[in-house]
């Protein structure tokens, strides 16, 4: 084997060791996304189909993950529940990141009283514990997926605003910004065409890591009865339905495993993305 081939194989092994968990996390996330997309073709039963005669049936060949208290197939509800949980998580993170990033970059560019006003408002939202504020807002808005997403959005954007502001402050002192200013480019063009793309990496990493947390938070609100409207299948509400069924452990256990797998998958993927976007890490 030539020296070049040996070096290439060595680099490949290092990359596999470094990004192996990221690939695993990406595979888990992709798997759940495909499950959500093809739910009508994958689920063995309709999610709301009741079979009282087989209520609380243990996992078997007929019902792989058993049935719940109304005789509904747990596997089918788990598959359809992925649609609600993933949609809620992506909606909260994407919308929260978009709004927060815009606020943070605008604050860094305005400077003076404009920056102070925007960041003090951001700090005001951050003063409240996020889960408590989201819980209060969800209770005030009423039960429903849309209302719960809105409640989570109110507490989700400030972290992105603070991160985007700090990144924009670093970028505005760079030579390319000064050169663009001297060249007479409009400030709006410099802001959105030059500064914003250079803040994408850290914000993308935060989004990836936050997706698992958002899904977990939405499940927690649904567990407390503030998420989806029954009988809509959702992982948090499924756990709530089985929380007192000790002997029928499968009712709450499998939705819990689903939430765990998604959170772990996004965490692995976010860690790998952070390492990949770090030039120092890639050079090793």
Query: How does 12-26 read in b/e, with b if 16+ C-beta sit within 10 Å?
Result: eeeeeeebebbeebb
Model pLDDT for residues 81-116, shown as the tens digit of each residue: 999 999 999 999 999 999 999 898 888 878 778 888
Distance CA 6, CA 41 (A): 46
How far is Cα 262 from Cα 250, in angstroms, rounded to an integer? Answer: 18
State which H helix or E strand residue 251 sits in.
Answer: helix 250-277
Query: Looking at the chain, how many residues does it have?
Result: 284
CA separation for the pair 141, 123 (Å, rounded): 23
Strand, helix or coil at 1?
Answer: coil
163: tokens are 């991160």
Q: What is the pLDDT of residues 10-57, one digit of tens each?
A: 555 566 566 678 889 999 999 999 999 999 999 999 999 898 888 999
- The pTM for the full model equals 0.87
Residue 208, C-beta contacts closer than 8 angstroms, at least 6 positions apart: 266, 269, 270, 273
Query: For residue 113, what is the enclosing H or E element?
Result: helix 112-126
Query: Does pLDDT of 280 surpass 70?
Result: no
Contact yes or no for 160/203 (Cβ under 8 A): yes
pLDDT value at residue 127: 85
Report yes or no: 269 and 29 within 8 Å, Cβ to Cβ: yes
pLDDT at residue 79, as a whole number: 96
Which DSSP letter does residue 62 get? S
**Does residue 217 surpass a pLDDT of 60?**
yes
Dist. CA 171–CA 253, nearest whole Å: 47
- Burial of 44: CB neighbours in 10 Å, binned 0-12, 13-18, 19+: exposed
Tell which residue, 265, 277, 192, 247, has the closest CA to residue 34.
265
DSSP label of 231: T
CA dihedral defined by 269, 205, 198, 164, rounded to 10 degrees?
Answer: 170
- Using pLDDT thresholds of 50, 70 and 90, give the confidence band for residue 8: low
Could you tell me if 42 and 64 are in contact, meaning their C-beta atoms sit under 8 angstroms apart?
Answer: no
CB atoms within 10 A of CB 274: 18
Q: Yes or no: say if 57 and 72 are a contact pair by the CB < 8 Å rule.
A: no
What are the DSSP calls for 5-25, one per residue? HHHHHHHHHHHHHHHHHHHHH
Residue 35's CB is within 10 A of a number of other CB atoms, namely 19
Confidence of residue 1 (pLDDT cuts 50, 70, 90): very low
What is the set of domains in the chain, with CATH numbers?
A: 63-283 (1.10.3720.10)
User: Which among 162, 117, 138, 127 has a CA at the least distance from the CA of 224?
Assistant: 138
């Amino acid at each position: 084997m030539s020296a070049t081939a040996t070096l290439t194989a060595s680099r490949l092994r290092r990359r596999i060791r470094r990004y192996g968990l990221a690939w695993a996390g990406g595979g888990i996330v992709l798997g759940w996304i495909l499950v959500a997309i093809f739910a009508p073709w994958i689920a063995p039963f309709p999610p709301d189909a009741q079979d009282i005669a087989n209520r609380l049936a243990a996992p078997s060949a007929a019902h792989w993950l058993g049935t719940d208290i109304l005789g509904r197939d747990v596997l089918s509800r788990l598959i359809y529940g992925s649609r609600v949980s993933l949609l809620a998580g992506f909606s909260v993170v994407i919308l929260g990141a978009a709004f927060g990033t815009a606020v943070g970059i605008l604050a860094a560019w305005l400077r003076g009283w404009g920056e102070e006003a925007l960041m003090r408002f951001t700090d005001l939202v951050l003063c409240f514990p996020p889960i408590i504020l989201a819980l209060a807002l969800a209770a005030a808005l009423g039960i429903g997926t849309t209302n719960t997403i809105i409640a989570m959005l109110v507490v989700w954007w400030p972290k992105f605003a603070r991160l985007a502001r700090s990144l924009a402050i670093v970028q505005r002192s760079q030579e390319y910004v000064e050169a663009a200013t001297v060249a007479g480019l409009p400030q709006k063009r410099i802001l959105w065409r030059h500064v914003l793309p250079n803040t994408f990496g850290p914000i993308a990493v935060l989004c990836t890591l936050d997706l698992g947390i958002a899904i977990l938070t939405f499940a927690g609100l649904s567990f407390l009865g503030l998420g989806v409207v029954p009988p809509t299948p959702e992982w948090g509400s499924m756990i709530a339905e089985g929380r007192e069924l000790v002997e029928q452990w499968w009712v709450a256990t499998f939705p819990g495993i689903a939430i765990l797998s998604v959170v772990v998958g996004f965490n692995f993927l976010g860690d790998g993305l952070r390492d990949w976007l770090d030039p120092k890490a890639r050079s090793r």
